Amino acid sequence: MSNGNESCMFRDGAEFVACIFHAFEEWSGLGPLEDYLSYLEYLAWVFTPLVVVFILPFLIVILLYLSILFLHVYKHKNQLREAYSNNMWDGARKTLATLWDGHGFIWHGYEIHGMEKIPDEGAALIVYYHGAIPIDYYYFLANVIIQKGRIVHSVADHFLFKVPGFKLLLEVFSVIHGPQEECVKALKSGHLLGISPGGVREALLSDETYPLLWGKRRGFAQVAIDSKVPIIPMFTQNVREGFRSLGGLSFFRWSYEKFRVPMAPVYGGFPVKFRTYLGDPIPYDPNISAAELAEKTNQAVQALIDRHQIIPGNVLRALLERFHSRHKEK
């Protein structure tokens, strides 16, 4: 092997490697590589104990939380055994509900206030504020399955039905894409139905000031009138602090308004305190129009926001609420 006028001769593998290092040193002009390797070895020797010191407690914490999750599932073992003996999908739903409830309990200290307002039987339309990711709604669905033994049918955006692999999940949990006829059919069959009038638009474009972005949508109100069912307003405190969207930026707002594709990045997953509040049911009134009922429902959800959410939302404050029970209450 040669480099310019110099020759590098070698008789075995060790000399060959040394030759390669020497050639690289001359080419890069960095000087002896042994010095750099020794320095890296020194850094590894210094920082490895520090990394281990911090990683081991972290792994122990993860193990503890997995233990809590296991115990949370085991606590409901009798319900799960009964569910699987009756119906395979009922058992699957209760298992997933228990897992989601455990996740909400561990990661967000999730609470529901007003669960007694959800009827044990009979239909009702549940109208809620849509977070950037409606994880609070998933926790709510899980709790209704566990505490009430009922499935809340849900209305979701069309794009969700195009996501690969989601079809079975949506079918098992009775999610529909929202034609009014299907909604009325579900309610007239005695089911609970959940819908967010703001939908994906509210998920992407709303922010920590919690504006309701319903526009002139009143189809949900017409569904309630046609089905002759009450509307139950719902809001989750700090849902915007758990996950946030960049949809308010001009480019993402324009792209959504233009193409109706939810392209805005969502970030977060912060373990903030979540409290879901269910308002007083708005009873069926044959003498009210869909526009009037939509406005009345909007005011009811807004009242829950005004009563339970400090505006603007703050991630640090929401995190600190995990450690004390005080919350906004007018």
177 counts as catalytic: no
Place of tokens 């709510």: 140
**DSSP code, position 161:** G
CA distance 222 to 199: 17
Cβ atoms within 10 A of the Cβ of 29, count?
6
CB atoms within 10 A of CB 162: 9
Q: Provide the residue type at 247 as one letter.
A: G
Q: Which residues, other chains included, contact 89 with Cβ-Cβ below 8 Å and sequence gap of 6+?
A: 172
Measured from the Cβ of residue 54, the count of other Cβ atoms closer than 10 Å reads 10
Closest-CA residue to 207 (of 252, 249, 248): 248
Set 103, 108, 130, 308: catalytic member: 130
**Please, are residues 190 and 122 in contact by the beta-carbon 8 Å criterion?**
yes
- In whole angstroms, give the CA distance from residue 124 to residue 194: 9
Report how far apart, in Å, the C-alpha atoms of 304 and of each of 129, 211, 313 are: 10, 12, 15
Tokens 């594709």 found at: 261
Q: Which residues are catalytic?
A: 130
